[in-house]
């Protein structure tokens, strides 16, 4: 038995002809080499295999390093993200986030929301290092046949808070927008774009001022819109000057940020475009326009601008509050054609446009006149200590008023509106 075991454990010896001195004991080494080579080949093949369904769902959901519970049904664009290990990502084009309800009488019911910019009053008096804003939910009902509209807001505000600040100020939220299936807002002090999830604010990206390379200051974001699957964030559109306008410090507010769904930011120099908008309004330097309400029309492939302030004179901080406008400017995609079309409602010097959105319509609903769009806008009033917020709804491009200026708050200055 011992001899039999010894025979099994002893490797087979091979005699190589012509070399009596070289005996090759290679069975064990050869088998080991084959096993290791095979394992290496399998690892390489596995690394380059396309993801299976579980991998794909994780790539779709694990977007920011945290897991989303589910992927909602949406009008989605799928594509391979360059620089992200070839993972499959989805851009959620669903808008608004909640379904448009068709009522029994044919009217359309929408959920809307507005968000507040409290300026210096945003700092909490009871919680240290905390800054506050408020969101107000509401319902808009639109009759596409008679083109009549009703708007009602809930009595209770939703408090939003954050500890992010710059220079002792923060949470001065200037706009609302739905992008990639999420609700975003932007703080015009820190330049932080937040996702609003219920009453929780989740910082997404920080927008630097100007070209993104000349200063560490946050971007003074004022308007937001979605164009070609990107989020566009704009500022005042006016040169940054001294309080009496006699000195230009920089052109940072004339940049626009173009943001992908992955958070990649491009810094677009719109200085010439803002100059052309000003000229279309019949104003030359040192006169100016201040922009806080702009939207891209996907249907008509054009831009709508409702300037908040307009003046033929030099900028003056103390007089600016009484330079409100009712101007509508319409530009084509590349701003080669810009028109000052109609006036939107009566001119009230202390009221200025601060947000603008277009009513999303189901495909089967067609408006008259053909090609018309319905716009919903916020106007803010800042007259010394008096603060108020108004909503108005009108038809584009003729400016026909469906809902004249209607006060929705004399407590807070709401500056952003969106269909949610």
The DSSP-derived string for 330-390 is EEETTSS-EEEEEE-S---TTEEEEEEEE----TT---SSTT-EEEEEEEEEEETTEEEEE
How do residues 356-390 score in pLDDT, each as one tens digit?
999 999 999 999 999 999 999 999 998 887 899 99
Provide the CB-side half-sphere exposure for 233 (13 A, CA). Answer: 39
Residue listed under structure tokens 């299976």: 52
pLDDT for 64: 37
Q: Where are the domains positioned within the chain?
A: 2-47, 53-92, 101-419
Among 121, 96, 122, 124, smallest CA distance to 111 is for: 96
Residue 59 has a pLDDT of 36
What is 101-419's CATH topology?
Answer: Neuraminidase (2.120.10)
Task: Write down the pLDDT at residue 78.
Answer: 54
Judge contact between 280 and 272, C-beta under 8 A.
Answer: no
Calculated CA dihedral for residues 36, 37, 41, 44, nearest 10 degrees: 60
pTM of the predicted model, to two decimals?
Answer: 0.81
215 closest CA partner among 273, 185, 255: 255
Residue at token pair 């958070």? 263
Residue numbers in the chain where pLDDT is lower than 50: 1, 4-5, 7-8, 12-25, 50-73, 79, 81, 84
Contact 251, 271 (CB under 8 A): yes
Q: Which residues contact 411 (CB under 8 A, 6 or more apart)?
A: 387
């Amino acid at each position: 038995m011992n001899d039999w075991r010894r025979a099994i454990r002893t490797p087979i010896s091979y005699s190589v002809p012509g070399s009596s001195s070289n005996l090759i004991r290679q069975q064990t080494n050869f088998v080991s080499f084959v096993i290791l080579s095979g394992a290496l080949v399998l690892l390489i093949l596995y690394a380059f295999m396309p993801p299976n369904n579980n991998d794909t769902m994780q790539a779709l959901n694990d977007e920011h390093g945290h897991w989303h519970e589910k992927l909602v049904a949406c009008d989605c664009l799928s594509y391979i993200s360059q620089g992200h290990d070839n993972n499959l990502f989805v851009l959620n084009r669903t808008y608004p986030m909640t379904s448009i309800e068709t009522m029994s009488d044919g009217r359309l019911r929408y959920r809307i929301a507005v968000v507040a910019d409290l300026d210096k009053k945003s700092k909490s008096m009871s919680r240290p290092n905390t800054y506050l804003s408020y969101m107000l939910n509401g319902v808009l009902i639109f009759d596409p046949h008679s083109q009549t509209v009703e708007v009602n807001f809930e009595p209770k505000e939703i408090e939003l808070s954050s500890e992010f600040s710059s220079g002792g100020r923060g949470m001065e939220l200037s706009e609302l927008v739905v992008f990639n299936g999420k609700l975003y807002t932007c703080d015009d002090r820190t330049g932080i774009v937040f996702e609003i999830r219920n009453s929780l604010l989740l910082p997404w990206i920080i927008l630097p001022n100007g070209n993104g390379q000349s200063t560490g200051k946050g971007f003074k974001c004022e308007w937001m819109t979605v164009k070609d699957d990107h989020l566009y964030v704009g500022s005042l559109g006016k040169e940054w000057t001294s309080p009496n306008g006699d000195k230009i410090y920089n052109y940072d507010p004339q940049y626009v940020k173009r943001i992908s769904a992955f958070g990649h930011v491009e810094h677009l120099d719109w200085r010439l475009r803002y100059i052309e908008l000003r000229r279309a309004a019949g104003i030359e330097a040192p006169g100016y326009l201040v922009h806080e309400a702009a939207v891209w029309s996907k249907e008509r492939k054009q831009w709508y601008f409702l300037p908040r302030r307009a003046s033929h004179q030099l900028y003056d901080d103390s007089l600016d509050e009484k330079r409100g406008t009712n101007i509508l400017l319409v530009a084509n995609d590349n701003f080669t054609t810009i028109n000052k079309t109609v006036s939107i409602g009566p001119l009230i010097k202390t009221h200025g446009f601060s947000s603008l959105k277009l009513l999303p319509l189901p495909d089967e609903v067609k408006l008259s006149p053909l090609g018309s769009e319905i716009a919903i806008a916020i106007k803010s009033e800042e007259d010394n200590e008096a603060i108020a917020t108004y909503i108005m709804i009108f038809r584009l491009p003729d400016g026909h008023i469906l809902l004249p200026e209607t006060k929705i708050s004399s407590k807070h200055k709401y500056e952003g509106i969106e269909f949610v």
